[in-house]
Structure formats: C-alpha cells, structure tokens
Structure 1
Amino acid sequence: MAKHKIYTMSFASVYPHYIKKAEKKGRTKEEVDEIIRWLTGYSQGELETQLENQTDFETFFHEAPQLNPSRTLIKGVICGVRVEDIEETTMQEIRYMDKLIDELARGKSMEKILRK
C-alpha cells in the first residue's frame, strides 16, 4: 500500500501554515514552537535544523528525541476523525500536532494545550 502523501511532505512546507493560523488569532510563533517541542522533545535548535533540512513528516516524527507521553491525553476530532482512534502511528502524531495548533488558534491557554 502506498504511503499517504503527507508523510513525504517536508515539515518545513507546512510549518509556516501552523504559524499563520496561530498569528491570525493573535498567538505567536514562539507558542507554536513550544507546542512542537513539547510534543516531540526537539530542542529549539534541533527543530530549526529539521526545518532547514526540509525533513519529511515521517522522518520528523521518527527522529523525534522524546515523544511526550502525555500526548495520549489529546482527544477530539480533526478532519472528521477522532485523533485517539487513528491506528497508524505516524498519522496519529501528525493529527496530534494539528489538534494542538487548532487549540492554540481557538484561544486555549498554553497550560491546557500542554496538558498540565
């Protein structure tokens, strides 16, 4: 079976859309980066290296230093599908990130977004 197209897309090509979505709602690039670092365990420098290297989504999540164990607390619907019900691991990680960015754009506090 062929891989989903998003797996081979570079994370850097989607990243500006995350920032634009957040900034349209009065949030910041720093908050987007904090969410990504919380989810993946990348440091800011490592995140910037992944962006510079045009790393694809599959590699981005596969090489993540420490996927946050609290990410399983992320619940809800994204693109009509419940994130907690997605069986394919990489797709679920991508949708976790999408859900967190949506929560940021909807005005949720960072404390709630980061499941503290």
Structure 2
Amino acid sequence: MSGHRIYSVAFAKVYPMYVQKAEKKGRTQEEVDQVILWLTGYTAAALKKHLEAGTSFEDFFNKAPAFNPKAELIKGVVCGVRVEEVEDPLMRKIRYLDKLVDELAKGKAMDRILRN
C-alpha cells in the first residue's frame, strides 16, 4: 500500500502516546487496551506480541482477526478530519482508533465508547 507514512510506523511507537493521552485525563492503560481489543478483535496476548515485534500500523490493522462491525458507528472529527468520511479503509481504521482514544481521554463512559 502506498501513501501515508503512518502505515509503515510501528504500532508500538504510537501506542505509548495513546496510553499517555488517556492517563493524563485519569484513564488507564487497561482501558486503552480494552478499546484496542474491542476494535480489532485481538487478544491481550496478541496485542502484546505485536507491540514487542514492532508490527507496522498497516500490518496491525490488516491482520486484525475480527475488526468490530460496530466501528462504523464511530463518528466525529479527529485531527480536523471527519472519521466517517475518510475514504481509504486502512486510514479510516486508524482514525477510528484515534477517535476512541480521544473519547476515552474526554471522560466518556466505556459503554458509550464501545457503542453498547
């Protein structure tokens, strides 16, 4: 896949930033992990393996075992981009995760974040 530089960046390089953003607002690493697992279908052990292996964003999302169908309910703006209007499927998945972490950091209830 060509295009965006983020695709080749190791997920493990950005993961600590997701955690830091959430922790600054009183949330936990476990909650960040819960959001990632909900979105991708990975287990905690599989997430840990990808972080240790330095898996790229592209591979991390393309190899997700069960991308959550409720992800389509994620709407809104993140980094000035309306998530539901992102055309590139891989970039949309990345933006979904960005939006979920934003919602977590803004103090939304986990049930609402996970679209229950």
TM-score, normalization: structure 2?
Answer: 0.98
- Which amino acid letter does the alignment assign opposite residue 43 of structure 2? S
Aligned equivalents of 1:2, 1:33: Cα separation in 2: 28
Query: What is the aligned partner in structure 2 of residue 5 from structure 1?
Result: 5
Task: Report what 2:105 is aligned to.
Answer: 105
Q: Aligned residue for 1:48?
A: 48
Measured after TM superposition, the shift of residue 86 of structure 1 is 0.4
Note the alpha carbon deviations across 1:1-59, whole angstroms, 9 max, x for none. 94211000000000000000000000000000000000000000000000001000000
2:83 — aligned with what?
83
Q: Deviation string for 1:33-91 (max 9, x for gaps)?
A: 00000000000000000000100000000000000000000000011111000000110
What's the counterpart of residue 66 of structure 1? 66
- Give the 4+ runs in structure 1 shifted more than 6 A: none
Gaps of 5+ in 2: none
Cα separation, partners in 2 of 1:68 and 1:2, compared to 1, 3 Å: closer
Q: Distance in 2 between matches of 1:2 and 1:47?
A: 25
Instruction: Give % identity.
Output: 59
Alignment partners' CA distance in 2, 1:108 and 1:18:
15
Number of the residue aligned with 1:28: 28
Give the length in aligned residue pairs.
Answer: 116
Structure-1 separation of matches of 2:106 and 2:80: 17
TM-score (norm 1): 0.98
Aligned-residue RMSD, C-alpha: 1.0
Query: Which stretches in structure 1 are left out of the alignment for 5+ residues?
Result: none
